[in-house]
Amino acid sequence: MTRHPETIFVLTGAGVSAESGLGTFRDRGGIWARFDPMKLATPEAYAADPDTVLDFYDHRRRGVIAAEPNAAHVALAQAEARLAGRGGRLFLCTQNVDDLHERAGSQAVTHMHGELLKARCCACGTVTPWRADLTRADACPACGAEGRMRPDVVWFGEMPMHLDAIEAALAEADLFVAVGTSGAVYPAAGYVRQARALGIPTCEINLEPCDNADAFDAARYGPASEALPRYLADLGL
Ligand code: OAD
């Protein structure tokens, strides 16, 4: 009898939300093909021109609110519940700043690049749920400081979030799956090699081979909304 994995580490990237209409970054016509990340997604850009940076994230926040989860998000939420029901665990680590995994029903999502629907006060550090546009007139609900709110997302040059919990989950996994990520941004891009070093089988699900495709043991190519549900079903999930 085939032994199904009981502790699965899933890393998702922009490709999982592409069929929900949210842009990827590095594909042709992607966000970083059209906009310079150094002018929009760094602490220096925010210090030099906060209005432009806030406008960029306002636009993306509106897009997230208007989007709906797709079959890939739903399949991951179902797999999480099914694994939990048989005493296993699906650890969902996403680089995405949208909330589509949560809206599809995933109970535990680790957002290593932060969340667009939250704002952080640069004065006191308090993180607040935030769905409206963010302007320099906004005051922090916790400390009252004005003009110090920023999107609670990770910018280039900043440390990704929850790294200790992610490393611990990776060490416990018996399967590593990366879905819709280009393998271009570290530390996430390095997790497949870490998994390999730990002896954990690895699989990539993507439209096409990602930058570090040679690091994976297995691959399923196709749109995430089709390839991922099929793959999870093959795992009995
Ligand atoms: P990328 O835009 O770099 O890569 C998207 C990946 O998704 C590519 O490998 C595509 O082939 C794949 N893809 C596109 N459509 C797909 C579909 N329908 N089904 C399956 N795969 C599909 O996005 P990420 O790897 O997520 O960070 O980018 C990583 C980080 O770079 C982002 O979190 C963001 C960005 O800079 C920050 O902003 C800090």
Q: Could you read off the pLDDT of 95-141 as tens digits, one per residue?
A: 999 999 999 999 999 999 999 999 999 999 999 999 999 999 999 99
The CATH number of residue 39's host domain is: 3.30.1600.10
| Residue 171: domain span | 1-21+69-113+159-237
Establish whether 23 is an annotated binding residue: yes
Query: What is the per-residue DSSP string for 99-138?
Result: SHHHHHT-S-EEETTEEEEEEEETTT--EEE--S---TT-
Instruction: Give the DSSP H/E element, type plus range, for residue 53.
Output: helix 50-66
Q: Is 180 in the pocket of ligand 1 (CB under 6 A)?
A: yes
Looking at 153, 174, 205, the residue that finishes a domain is 153
Question: Residues 108, 163: one domain?
Answer: yes
Same domain for 182 and 220? Answer: yes
Least Cα distance to 225 among 71, 101, 96, 76 occurs for 71
Residue 72: CB within 6 Å of ligand 1? no
Q: Work out how many domains the chain is built from and give that number.
A: 2
- Judge if 92 and 39 occupy the same domain: no
Same domain, 212 and 235: yes
Dump pLDDT digits (tens) for 160-214. 999 999 999 999 999 999 999 999 999 999 999 999 999 999 999 999 999 999 9
